[in-house]
Amino acid sequence: MHLGLIGLGIMGAPMARNLLKAGFPLTVATRTPGKAARFASEASSLGSVEAVETPSELASACDVVITMVTDSPDVVQVARGPSGIFAGARPKTVIIDMSTISPQITRDLAEEAASHGLQWLDAPVSGGQKGAIEGTLTIMVGGDAGALDRCRPVLAAMGKRISHFGPPGSGQSAKLCNQIMTAINLLSVCEAMVFGKKAGLDLGTLHEALTGGAANSWALEVLGKKMIERDFAPAFMVRLQQKDLRLVLDAASANRTPLPGAAMVHQLLAALEAEGHGDDGTQALVRLFERLAGL
User: Could you say which of 175, 197, 225, 226 is catalytic?
Assistant: 175
Nearest to 67 by CA among 94, 40, 96: 96
| Cα→Cα distances 178→35, 120, 285, Å | 30, 22, 19
Distance CA 63, CA 93 (A): 5
Rounded-to-10 torsion of CA 189, 192, 198, 204: -70
Over its C-alpha atoms, the chain yields an Rg (Å, rounded) of 20
Q: Quickly list DSSP for 192-248.
A: HHHHHHHTT--HHHHHHHHTTSTT--HIIIIIIHHHHHT----SSBHHHHHHHHHHH
Distance CA 22, CA 210 (A): 38
The question of whether 243 is a catalytic residue gets the answer: no
Nearest to 25 by CA among 34, 36, 16, 33: 16
Distance CA 90, CA 44 (A): 26
Within 10 Å of residue 221's Cβ, how many Cβ atoms?
Answer: 13
List the catalytic residues. Answer: 175
